């Protein structure tokens, strides 16, 4: 504390970062000096600096901004007005003139910008300007409707809400998942970096990654994951991605769509043991003694009990005797027998036998009784 002036001392920031500007348009030396000044002021505003001191080796720019010289050139008038407008955002602004021999670092960067291509010098940040700063259209910011982020931002700033309703309590709980950095809201993740929260038109613009130069027309869940890996989040991310894929014309035309006709599931049930049997014929196998090379098998649907008998021939009469001996005589009359459409099961001999005993026959596809 200075006891004579009663003024305090606050923290100060001295930028040592090296940045060079490359112009893609014709610019005079004075225009280049103004562009460098505006770029530095813009950077200071982005980091929310309140007091700024700038040193320039251009006596003309320093004199015009400090209103020591009169600005007559029409192009420089635009730059002077732009600089004056930006100065109003600072609490304190000082522009000092230094000789060129005392400003060697800035002089080196001007030579670097004109001789080096962008990207070849990694220790210096290169920025390319396609148009003059004063010729760029001003973007008017219109306050839109309230977004889902506004209540969370308000609580993170002031730690209080207007009322204590149920929605307020919910917002208070949700704020633990978010963090506010330089007026931008980010969502915290368990195993992922911070995700920038967006809404409205910005979210619709991000979803366009589904198609375009780098678009792969992936499905909705994969699209939501791709956007999250890119570092963006909003509450309806998955729903919006699913709807976007459903409305995509190319996805509907060329996607792998299931073309099978709708069919209800057929539930196979058995009310009690030995109520329903499945029968089939296996073989031929290598010939065994007695010329046996086939096997007739029946399985109970309820208990999974299995009965089998090797046979030499597979005729309808042989199947009829098997059903009588292995099922009827041992487990009483069944209600239903399921088999394929083989000749041995669908013949008149087997059908008449089942009708006489009031056994219902059900036929299914081959090898799936």
* Residues 174 and 231 occupy one common structural domain: yes
* Residues 343 and 314 occupy one common structural domain: yes
CB neighbourhood size of 71 (10 A)? 18
Tell me how far CA of residue 365 lies from CA of 37, 174, 322, 350, 369, in angstroms: 84, 57, 22, 18, 7
DSSP 146: P
Position 3 in a domain: no
List the one residue out of 251, 208, 199 whose CA is nearest residue 226.
208
* Residues 23 and 131 occupy one common structural domain: yes
DSSP 278: E
* Residues 339 and 235 occupy one common structural domain: no
Position 144 in a domain: no
Give the chain's domain count. Answer: 3
Beta-strand runs (E) in 8-107? 19-23, 51-56, 92-97
pLDDT confidence of residue 233: 92
Here the CATH number for the domain that contains residue 91 is: 3.30.420.10
* Residues 158 and 248 occupy one common structural domain: yes
Position 13 in a domain: no
* Residues 204 and 283 occupy one common structural domain: no
DSSP 189: -
Rounded Cα distance between 233 and 294, Å, is 65
> 3 with 47: CB under 8 angstroms?
no
pLDDT confidence of residue 125: 54
Rounded Cα distance between 159 and 171, Å, is 11
Position 222 in a domain: yes
The residue range of the domain holding 248 is 150-253
Q: Domain end: 112, 135, 158, which one? A: 135
* Residues 29 and 131 occupy one common structural domain: yes
In three-state secondary structure terms, 244 is: helix
Which residues of the chain are modeled with pLDDT < 70? 1-24, 101-130, 134-145, 160-167, 212-214, 257-267, 366-369
Rounded Cα distance between 175 and 198, Å, is 16
Position 32 in a domain: yes
* Residues 42 and 112 occupy one common structural domain: yes
Here the CATH number for the domain that contains residue 195 is: 1.10.340.70
pLDDT confidence of residue 39: 82
- Residue 23 has φ and ψ, to the nearest 5°, of -100, 130
Put simply, whether the predicted model's pTM sits higher than 0.75 gets the answer no
Q: Domain end: 221, 253, 285, which one? A: 253
| Residues paired with 178 in a beta bridge | 187
Position 34 in a domain: yes
Q: Domain end: 253, 287, 304, which one? A: 253
* Residues 129 and 154 occupy one common structural domain: no
* Residues 238 and 292 occupy one common structural domain: no
* Residues 237 and 285 occupy one common structural domain: no
Host H or E run for residue 180? strand 178-181
* Residues 209 and 281 occupy one common structural domain: no
């Amino acid at each position: 504390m200075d006891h004579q002036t009663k003024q305090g001392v606050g923290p100060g920031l001295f930028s040592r970062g090296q940045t060079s500007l490359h112009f893609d348009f014709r610019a005079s030396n004075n225009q280049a000096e103004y562009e460098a000044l505006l770029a530095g002021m813009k950077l200071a505003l982005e980091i929310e600096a309140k007091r700024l001191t700038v040193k320039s080796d251009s006596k003309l720019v320093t004199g015009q901004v400090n209103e020591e010289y009169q600005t007559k050139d029409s192009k420089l008038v635009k730059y002077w007005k732009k600089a004056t407008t930006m100065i109003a955002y600072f609490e304190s602004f000082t522009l000092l003139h230094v000789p060129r021999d005392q400003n060697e670092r800035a002089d080196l960067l001007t030579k670097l910008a004109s001789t080096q291509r962008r990207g070849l010098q990694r220790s210096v940040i290169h920025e390319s300007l396609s148009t003059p700063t004063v010729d760029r259209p001003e973007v008017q910011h219109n306050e839109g409707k309230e977004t889902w982020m506004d209540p969370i931002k308000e609580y993170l700033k002031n730690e209080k809400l207007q009322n204590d309703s149920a929605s307020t309590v919910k917002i208070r709980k949700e704020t633990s998942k978010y963090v506010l950095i330089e007026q931008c809201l980010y969502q915290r993740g368990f195993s992922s970096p911070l995700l920038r929260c967006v809404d409205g038109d910005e979210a619709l613009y991000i979803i366009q990654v589904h198609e375009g130069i780098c678009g792969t027309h992936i499905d909705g869940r994969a699209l939501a994951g791709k956007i999250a890996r890119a570092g963006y989040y909003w509450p309806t991310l998955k729903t919006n991605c699913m709807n976007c894929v459903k409305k995509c014309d190319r996805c509907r035309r060329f996607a792998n769509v299931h073309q099978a006709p709708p069919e209800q599931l057929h539930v196979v049930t058995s009310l009690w043991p030995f109520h329903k049997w499945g029968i089939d014929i296996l073989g031929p196998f290598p010939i065994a003694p007695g010329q046996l090379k086939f096997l007739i098998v029946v399985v109970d649907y309820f208990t999974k009990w299995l009965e089998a008998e090797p046979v030499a021939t597979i005729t309808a009469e042989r199947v009829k005797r098997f059903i009588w001996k292995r099922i009827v005589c041992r487990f009483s009359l069944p209600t239903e027998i399921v088999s394929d459409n083989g000749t041995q099961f669908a013949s008149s001999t087997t059908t008449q036998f089942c009708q006489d005993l009031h056994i219902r026959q059900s036929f299914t596809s081959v090898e799936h009784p």
